[in-house]
């Protein structure tokens, strides 16, 4: 019975959370009971071995997705708090779909435009079946790119974030969209937009010049969050040109301590 009671304290004993008196009591018992001492040894070893497992880290896209979602949540909250009471009083529109319409006006406008053009082209195709389908697809893609570029140029951060989200759906973003994404990464005043731009550009990083731009961005960036996202991305891409920039960051006294640590980790990954 005594053994059983003592053993239930083993996890706490190993974890170091027992008070000195309880520890002494256990140690006294261990000196007299070989079986308990053996069990504690096995359990201690297991506990130590568990501590050697390094938990995996999430992908950089988790951070990007979180900040995008947070920005969307804020926009919903602001829109609802400003517009909804009046609208609900006037017309009793409590339907969530109506609320969604109000919140996402620019995106819906863009979607309607794309749908309209696609439908128009469909009608035209049925009338002239020999029209080149590939050409029509190209036109829709171009239109998609135009809408993306338009959203990226909006003054509202939430619209720019929507533009970045739309850019991710483009299979082959044109030079204009790529340039705008880089512009957002390098000069947008909103840190969440810059973070989202890192996420979007990660999907286009097979282009060597984009990688070079990402390295250059890391040397200019001042926000720790964006710096960390860029280090994660460049380390994941095995972009060795980033080593010097990471080294400079890790040595710069003005760099945030977490970023310094991350930069050192990045260098280890790349060397």
Partner 1 sequence: MLSVREGDTDKLGVLFERYHKNLYAFFLFQTRNVHVSEDLVQEVFFRMLKYCHTYRDKSEFRTWMFAIARNARIDHYKKHAIENGHTVITESIESSDPAPDIVMERENDRAVLKKALYMLSHDKRELIIMARFNNLRYHEIAALLGCSEGALKVRMYRAMKELTEIYKRLTGGNCHEMRKNQDIVS
Please state, in angstroms and rounded to a whole number, the distance separating the CA atoms of residues 81 and 66. 22
Please state, in angstroms and rounded to a whole number, the distance separating the CA atoms of residues 80 and 244. 47
Q: Answer yes or no whether residue 149 interacts with partner 1 by CB under 8 A.
A: no
CB proximity list for 99: less than 8 A, separation 6 or greater: 80, 84, 93
Residues 21, 57, 132, 135: which binds partner 1 (CB under 8 A)? 57
The candidate with the shortest Cα–Cα distance to 182, out of 162, 212, 223, 154, is 212
Using CB under 8 A as the criterion, what x/- string covers residues 16-35 for binding partner 1?
-x------------------
DSSP state of 57: P
Q: Answer yes or no whether residue 116 interacts with partner 1 by CB under 8 A.
A: no
We find the least distance from the C-beta atom of residue 22 to partner 1, in angstroms, to be 11
Task: Please say which residue, 178 or 226, places its beta carbon nearer to partner 1.
Answer: 226
Other Cβ atoms within 10 Å of 192 Cβ, number: 24
Please state, in angstroms and rounded to a whole number, the distance separating the CA atoms of residues 185 and 33. 65
Residues 16, 32, 34, 52: which binds partner 1 (CB under 8 A)? 52
Please state, in angstroms and rounded to a whole number, the distance separating the CA atoms of residues 80 and 73. 11
Q: Answer yes or no whether residue 190 interacts with partner 1 by CB under 8 A.
A: no
Using CB under 8 A as the criterion, what x/- string covers residues 203-242 for binding partner 1?
----------------------x-----------------
Q: Answer yes or no whether residue 257 interacts with partner 1 by CB under 8 A.
A: no
The candidate with the shortest Cα–Cα distance to 259, out of 268, 249, 271, 269, is 249
CA dihedral for 83, 161, 100, 115, sign (positive or negative): positive
DSSP-based helix, strand, coil % in the chain, nearest 5 = 80, 0, 20
Structure-token pair, residue 179: 């340039």
Q: Answer yes or no whether residue 3 interacts with partner 1 by CB under 8 A.
A: no
63-102 residues in contact with partner 1 (CB under 8 A) are: 63, 65-67, 69-70, 73-74, 77
Q: Answer yes or no whether residue 266 interacts with partner 1 by CB under 8 A.
A: no
Range in contact with partner 1 (rule: CB under 8 A) among 10-18, 86-94, 169-177, 208-216: 10-18
Please state, in angstroms and rounded to a whole number, the distance separating the CA atoms of residues 148 and 169. 10
Range in contact with partner 1 (rule: CB under 8 A) among 4-12, 19-27, 140-148, 240-248: 4-12
Range in contact with partner 1 (rule: CB under 8 A) among 44-52, 115-123, 135-143, 175-183: 44-52
Q: Give contact residues for partner 1 (rule: CB under 8 A).
A: 7-12, 15, 17, 39, 42-43, 45-47, 49-53, 55-59, 61-63, 65-67, 69-70, 73-74, 77, 225
């Amino acid at each position: 019975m005594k053994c059983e009671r003592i053993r239930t304290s083993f996890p706490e004993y190993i974890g170091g959370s027992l008070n000195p008196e309880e520890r002494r009591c256990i140690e006294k018992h261990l000196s007299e009971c070989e079986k308990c001492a053996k069990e504690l040894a096995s359990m201690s070893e297991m506990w130590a071995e568990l501590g050697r497992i390094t938990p995996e880290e999430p992908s950089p896209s988790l951070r990007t997705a979180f900040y995008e979602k947070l920005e969307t949540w804020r926009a919903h909250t602001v829109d609802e708090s400003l517009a909804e009471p009046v609208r609900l009083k006037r017309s009793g529109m409590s339907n969530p779909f109506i609320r969604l319409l109000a919140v996402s006006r620019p995106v819906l406008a863009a979607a309607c435009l794309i749908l309209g053009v696609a439908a128009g082209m469909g009608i035209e195709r049925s009338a002239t079946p020999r029209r080149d389908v590939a050409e029509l697809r190209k036109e829709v893609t171009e239109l998609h790119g135009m809408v993306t570029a338009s959203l990226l140029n909006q003054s509202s951060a939430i619209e720019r974030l929507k533009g970045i989200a739309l850019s991710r759906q483009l299979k082959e973003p044109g030079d204009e969209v790529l340039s705008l994404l880089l512009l957002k990464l390098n000069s947008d005043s909103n840190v969440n937009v810059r973070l989202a731009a890192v996420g979007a550009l990660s999907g286009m990083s097979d282009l060597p010049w984009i990688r070079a731009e990402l390295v250059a961005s890391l040397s200019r960036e001042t926000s720790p969050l964006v710096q960390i996202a860029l280090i994660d991305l460049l380390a994941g891409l095995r972009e060795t040109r980033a080593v010097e920039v990471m080294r400079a960051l890790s040595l710069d006294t003005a760099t945030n301590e977490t970023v310094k640590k991350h930069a050192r980790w990045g260098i280890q990954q790349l060397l």
